[in-house]
Chains A and B, each alone.
Chain A
C-alpha cells in the first residue's frame, strides 16, 4: 500500500458505509451485455490435451503395478482431443515445439451457437 494513502489513527474521521436498499429488480428486455465477445476476450481459459484413455474395472486399476504398460484407446496416428474445462472443443496432432509438447490444430468446434 502507498504510504501516502495511509492516514494515522486520529488524523481524520472515517465514516462507516451504509448500503442503500436497492429497489425491486426491474430487468428490462434489453440484455445488459448482449453477446459482445470483446468484453471477455482477455479472460483466460485452460486448454488440455487428452492423449488417450483406457476403460477398466476398479479391480483391474488396483491391480496395476508401477511400470505396468496400459494400451490406450487411440491409434498412434489419431489426433488427440482438446478440452476446455472438461468439454471437447477440438482435435489436434501432438507435436514437439522446442523441448515442449505442442498441439497442431486439426479441427475446432464452430464459433456459431456458442
Chain B
C-alpha cells in the first residue's frame, strides 16, 4: 500500500510563495521582456479541487533539481512565438524556413527563457543553481500525485500581457520556499514508555466454570430447570480469562462476604 505525506498548504504559505514568485517573475520579466510589465502571480494548492488548470492534453516541461524538487510549466504550441513577440517584437522570425511551425530561433529562445525562469525559481527555494544545465529537463507532466489533495504541491499562474503561464511547484519545492515559516522545533515532552501508558487501561478479569459441547438440536429443547453437566470437577481449579481470552492461569472459587471471589493459584497448580 502506498504511503505518502499529507501536507495542506496554508494561507501564509501561499502568500509567501506568491511573494517569492512575484520577485522571480518581476526579475525574469525585467531581464527577458524589457518594457513589459509583469502582471499578477496567483498561487493555489495543486489539488484538483483548488486549481483550475486544464491538464488534459497540455504539453508540460518539467525541470528537476538534484538538490530536490521539480518545477513544471505548461508549454503549449503558441508559447514560443508569444514569448518571442513579447521579447523582440517582430525582430525575430516567427515561422520556420518552410513557413509552418515556429522557427528554430524562436524555439531556442523559449528554451533559454524557460530554463532561466526555472533557475530563478530554484534559487528562490534556496538552491545553489547557476544555470539551466544543472537541471534535468523532460517533456513530461508533473507526477500524478501532485494533483492529489495533501500533496503539498502548488499551482501558480504567472501572468504577462494578459495571459498566464501555468506552472506547478511540487511539494519539495514548496517546502523549501516556505521553510522560513515553519515553527522552530521546541523542546517537547518526552513520550511516556508504552508500557507505562498501559497501566491505566481497564481490563476485565473473568472466572469461568468450564464448558460443555452440546448439539444445537438439544439446545433448542432446553427449558428452565434442565441441568447441564460441565467438564470441570468441583475439585479442579477454574479457568481465568481476561476479556474473554484464556490466560493459562487458574483460580479457585470462594466468596468474600456476599460476593463471589476468586483466589489465584500458583502457576504450578494452574
Interface residues in chain A, defined as those with a beta carbon under 8 Å from any beta carbon in chain B: 37-38, 40-59, 61-62, 64-77, 80, 84, 86, 90, 92, 94-97, 99-108, 111
Besides the contacts A62-B199, A72-B262, what 5 more A-B pairs have beta carbons closer than 8 Å? Answer: A55-B204, A67-B265, A100-B210, A100-B234, A101-B209
Contact B242 A44 (CB under 8 A): no
Contact B205 A70 (CB under 8 A): yes
Q: Is the interface of A mostly helix, strand, loop or mixed?
A: strand
Kindly state whether residue B16 has any CB partner on chain A within 8 Å.
Answer: no
B interface residues, tally (CB under 8 Å): 55
Contact B202 A101 (CB under 8 A): no
Interface centre among A41, A46, A68, A101, by most chain B C-beta atoms within 10 angstroms, is A101
B contact residues around A47 at 8 Å (CB): 211-214, 219, 228
Contact A69 B228 (CB under 8 A): no
Contact B261 A100 (CB under 8 A): no
Question: Which residue of B has the minimal Cβ distance to A90?
Answer: B222
Interface centre among A51, A75, A95, by most chain B C-beta atoms within 10 angstroms, is A51
Contact B207 A72 (CB under 8 A): yes
Query: Which residues B248-268 have CB closer than 8 A to chain A?
Result: 251, 253-267
Kindly state whether residue B186 has any CB partner on chain A within 8 Å.
Answer: no
Contact B261 A71 (CB under 8 A): yes
B contact residues around A45 at 8 Å (CB): 213-216, 219
